[in-house]
Chains A and B, each alone.
Chain A
Amino acid sequence: GDQVEQSPSALSLHEGTDSALRCNFTTTMRSVQWFRQNSRGSLISLFYLASGTKENGRLKSAFDSKERRYSTLHIRDAQLEDSGTYFCAAEKGGGTGSKLSFGKGAKLTVSP
C-alpha cells in the first residue's frame, strides 16, 4: 500500500496568505524531500531533511524528529509564482540505494 499520504490534494490561496501542506508516513522514514513541479513538468527540489526544520525564504519545512512519521511544508506570504504541484517523497533507509516513495501531490493555485 501507499507509504506516503499527502494532504490536501489541491489548495487555492490568495496572494499574501499562508498555508501548509502535510505528508504522513505509514512507517518510520529516514529522510524526506519536498519538490515543486512546474507547468513544464520540471521537478525542483525544495528541501531535503533528515531531521528538524529548514527554511528558505518564504518556505519552511519540518520533519518530525521523534517518530519520523510526518513532514510539513509551510508557505508564507504566497505569491503567484508559488503555483504548481508540490510533492513530498520519503526514504525508509535500511537498504541499498535511496528509494523514495512519493505522495500523490498537492496542486497549489495562487490567485491575485
Chain B
Amino acid sequence: GGIITQTPKFLIGQEGQKLTLKCQQNFNHDTMYWYRQDSGKGLRLIYYSITENDLQKGDLSEGYDASREKKSSFSLTVTSAQKNEMAVFLCASSMQGWEQYFGPGTRLTVL
C-alpha cells in the first residue's frame, strides 16, 4: 500500500499573504489533484496534474497556483489569502483513469 501526506496539517495565515501547501504520495501514481472543501459542502477541484511538470485547471483555479515538481509531489499556492477564509484543502492521487486516494487534508484559517 501507499500513503499520501500533506503539510502542514493546520495553516493560519494573514489576509493578503501567499501560502503554500504541500502534498507527497508514494503510490507511484501519475495523476495528482488538489481539492477545496468548504464547511458542510462537497469537494471542488482546484488543479490537477497528469504527469511531472503538467498542470491542468479545475473548476476553482482562480486565486491559486500549483506546481508538480516531481512525480511524487504536488504543491498548491494560495496567491492572496482572503480574510476570514476557512477551508480544508485535500490532495489526492490516482493512476490515470482509476480510483483516487486522498490525503488527510490541510485546514486553512485566515485571520
Chain A: residues with CB nearer than 8 A to chain B? 4, 6, 30, 33, 35, 40-45, 48, 87, 89, 91, 93, 96-100, 102-105
Contacts and interface: CB of A to CB of B under 8 A. Distances in A.
B90 A102 contact: no
Contacts of A87: 42-43
Contacts of A44: 102
Interface residues of B, number: 27
A42 B37 CA distance: 12
A33 B56 contact: no
A96 B56 contact: yes
Contacts of A93: 97
B45 interface: yes
A45 B98 CA distance: 12
Closest 4 CB pairs of A and B: A48-B99, A102-B42, A43-B102, A102-B43
A46 B47 CA distance: 24
A100 B100 contact: yes
Contacts of A105: 40-42
14 contacts: A33-B100, A40-B104, A41-B107, A42-B102, A43-B43, A43-B90, A45-B100, A45-B102, A87-B43, A98-B31, A99-B45, A102-B35, A104-B41, A104-B42
Nearest to B32: A97
A35 B105 CA distance: 15
Q: Which of the listed residues B40, B43, B48, B96 has the most CB atoms from chain A within 10 Å of its own CB?
A: B43
A51 to B, nearest CB: 14
Contacts of A33: 99-100
A9 to B, nearest CB: 10
Contacts of B56: 96-97
A41 B96 contact: no
Contacts of B98: 48, 98
B109 interface: no
A43 B36 CA distance: 13
B85 to A, nearest CB: 17
B2 to A, nearest CB: 13
Contacts of A97: 31, 33, 48, 50, 56, 96
